[in-house]
């Protein structure tokens, strides 16, 4: 797969009718739409204001979303689901989702969508370190994955549980590739997490933006968009570090749930999210949209230089999905 870079081409405009909130609101359920993650709060607000669809916040992670879809397969509750790309691939393979191609689907790069529309990228993130500089106790801002094993960061490093949360698994893939592994050999990642365990890491299962902002977790394996949100929107000093050894850039995807109770409403939601207006909302949250629209200049200027992002690579996401369960089992058996 070709290396994914910042989208810098103007997208062909995707026309989409906009519904005012004067129309009767419809209801839909989205699994894994947490308000603190990727600024879903603004997206859900826009969905209600622009197309008249109310969707409640939902704080599941990718693994929990998949498990719920499996449990409810005979009687679905959700209409749409959002998750890391590997979970989306798995949901498609297991027949949990329905093929649907929203307007703008054809502009999503190949490899970042199921050809039939069972899942498709809505935005990208790059894995790195979300650092609360004020909470480091005078220690320098770490610049490399290897730095986190130093005694001066004992009890300061957090990462989401890679056996459950997709961002945790993506972090494991990033570390694994950084230290010479590949998607068929996770020994470097297992060894890294074993060594990091000696430094008393914090391993939550859920999105932890607020815990970084409060200083409870001074350094978190996280995406650039969360770190930039902290840096530019929170009081205090925050940084995003793209580690010196390299990292990965990965998409988050969405699907229409098979047998969704409000399928037509779910389709409207997905159409809006891939529209020019919907994609622009992601850029306000420091995300790179899946369709090739130009990042606003003021947003682009807030990212690390493009030269730094050259260290972030794309991977074979289908192979990444195949390896996920095996890695999770190894992590639980050998690290946790």
Cβ within 8 Å of residue 186, ≥6 positions away:
172, 176, 323, 326, 327, 330
Q: Residue 157 carries which DSSP code?
A: E
A 10 A CB-CB count for 245 gives: 16
In this predicted structure, what is the pLDDT of residue 15?
Answer: 40
Global pTM reads 0.78
How far is Cα 260 from Cα 289, in angstroms, rounded to an integer? 26
20: pLDDT confidence band, cut at 50, 70 and 90? very low
* Statement: residue 233 has pLDDT above 50: yes
**Residues 6+ positions from 305 with CB-CB distance below 8 Å:** none
Please check the confidence at residue 310 and state whether its pLDDT lies above 80: yes
- Write the burial class of residue 137 (CB in 10 Å: 0-12 exposed, 13-18 middle, 19+ buried): exposed
Q: What CA–CA distance (Å, rounded) separates 2 from 7?
A: 13
Is the pLDDT score of 259 beyond 90?
yes
Closest CA to 69 of 99, 102, 101, 94: 94
Using 50, 70 and 90 to split pLDDT, how confident is the model at 4?
very low
pLDDT at residue 325, rounded to an integer = 94
Q: Say yes or no to pLDDT of 12 above 80.
A: no
Radius of gyration (C-alpha) of the chain in whole angstroms: 19
Q: What would the two tokens of residue 65 be?
A: 């979303």
- The residue ranking higher by pLDDT, 280 or 72, is 72
Predicted local distance difference test score (pLDDT) of residue 173: 97
Report the C-alpha gap between 33 and 256 in whole angstroms.
14
Contact assessment for residue 209 and residue 229, using Cβ atoms and an 8 Å cutoff = yes
pLDDT at 283 over 70: yes
**Rounded mean pLDDT, 40-44:** 95
Average pLDDT of the segment spanning 130-141: 98
CA nearest to 66, candidates 204, 189, 166: 166
Region 78-82: what's the mean pLDDT? 98
pLDDT band of 299, cuts 50, 70, 90: confident
pLDDT-above-70 percentage for the chain = 93
Mean local confidence (pLDDT), 307-319: 92
- Decide: 312 and 80 in contact? Cβ < 8 Å: no
- Nearest of 202, 206, 128, 196 to residue 165 by alpha carbon: 206
- DSSP assignment of 92-114 equals HHTT-EE----TTGGGSPTTSB-
- Tell me the per-residue pLDDT of 151-171, one tens digit each, with 9 for 90 and over: 999 999 999 999 988 899 999
Calpha distance 35→120 (Å, rounded) = 21
18-27, 73-82, 292-301: range with lowest mean pLDDT: 18-27
Query: For the chain, what is the mean pLDDT?
Result: 90
The whole-number pLDDT of residue 24 equals 57
Mean pLDDT, residues 8-31 taken together: 55
Whether the per-residue pLDDT at 10 is higher than 50: the answer is no
């Amino acid at each position: 797969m070709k290396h994914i870079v910042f989208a810098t081409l103007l997208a062909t405009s995707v026309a989409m009718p906009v519904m005012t909130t004067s129309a009767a609101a419809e209801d839909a359920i989205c699994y894994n739409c947490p308000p603190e993650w990727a600024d879903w709060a603004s997206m859900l607000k826009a969905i209600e204001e622009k197309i008249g669809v109310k969707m409640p916040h939902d704080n599941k992670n990718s693994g929990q979303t998949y498990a719920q879809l499996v449990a409810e397969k005979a009687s679905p509750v959700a209409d749409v689901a959002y998750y890391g790309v590997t979970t989306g691939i798995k949901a498609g393979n297991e027949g949990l989702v329905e093929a649907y191609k929203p307007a703008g689907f054809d502009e999503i790069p190949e490899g970042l969508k199921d050809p039939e529309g069972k899942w498709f990228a809505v935005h990208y993130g790059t894995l790195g370190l979300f650092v609360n500089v004020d909470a480091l106790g005078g220690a320098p801002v770490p610049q490399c994955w290897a730095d986190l094993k130093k005694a001066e960061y004992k009890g300061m490093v957090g990462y989401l549980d890679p056996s459950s949360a997709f961002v945790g698994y993506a972090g494991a893939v990033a570390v694994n590739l950084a230290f010479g592994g590949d998607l068929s050999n996770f020994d470097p990642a297992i060894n890294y997490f074993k060594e990091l365990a000696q430094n008393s890491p914090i391993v939550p299962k859920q999105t932890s933006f607020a815990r970084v902002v409060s200083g409870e977790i001074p350094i978190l394996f996280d995406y650039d968009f969360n770190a930039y949100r902290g840096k530019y929107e929170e009081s205090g000093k925050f940084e995003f570090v793209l580690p010196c050894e390299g990292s990965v850039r990965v998409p988050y995807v969405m699907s229409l749930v098979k047998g969704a109770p409000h399928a037509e409403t779910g389709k409207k939601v997905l159409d809006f999210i891939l529209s020019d207006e919907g994609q622009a909302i992601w850029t306000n949250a420091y995300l790179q949209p899946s369709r090739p629209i130009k990042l606003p200049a003021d947003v682009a200027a807030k990212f690390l230089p493009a030269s730094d992002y050259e260290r972030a690579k794309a991977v074979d996401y289908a192979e990444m999905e195949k390896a996920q369960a095996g890695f999770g089992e190894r992590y639980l058996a050998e690290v946790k």
